[in-house]
Amino acid sequence: MIELILGGARSGKSRLAEQRAGAADKQVVYIATAQARDPEMAQRIQHHQGRRSGNWLTLEEPVALAKILRQQDAAGRLLLVDCLTLWLSNLLSLEPGPQFDQQRTDLLETLPRLQADVILVSNETGLGVVPTGELTRRFVDESGWLHQTLASLAQRVTLVVAGLPMALKPSPGSNP
């Protein structure tokens, strides 16, 4: 099963993903995409690390996400990826070239083939004003397109607002 959990900054999306992973009767592999490029980000990473179960395997991979998903894939596992928008930022910060499209395509082709359950966490960036800079507009566009594609692949999509999960797929009242 693939689940996509979306929400704004500090919406509670990572906490929800961690709760769902902890409730699953599976071995959890937490795949972190963040890079501590400044002291504030290092502090955010420490905050997230402090919440994780000591029983979980944590791996850090800022770029080659599909590759690490394939390496960690196994029946009876749950792979929790936090977060896709940081992964996109990492890709967009690389030297210009085909790597962005290759990594994105690799992820989208890998996900449906995995035996493990997957929870993907990402920031919903399309609810605000249109950014004025070219790079930030591309980031918003790329994350929106990625979320749409992932939502079509996922069996469950949840939007978190103010710590409250809202089921988008399957829709409320439908059979999961």
State both tokens at 72. 């960690």
β-partners of residue 13 are none
* Nearest alpha-carbon partner for 80 in 146, 172, 10, 13: 13
Give me the catalytic one of 26, 27, 48, 138.
48
Tokens representing 66? 């599909």
Examine the residue annotation and report whether 48 is marked as an active-site residue of this protein. Answer: yes
| Cα 78 from Cα 63, distance rounded (Å) | 20
Residues identified as active-site: 48
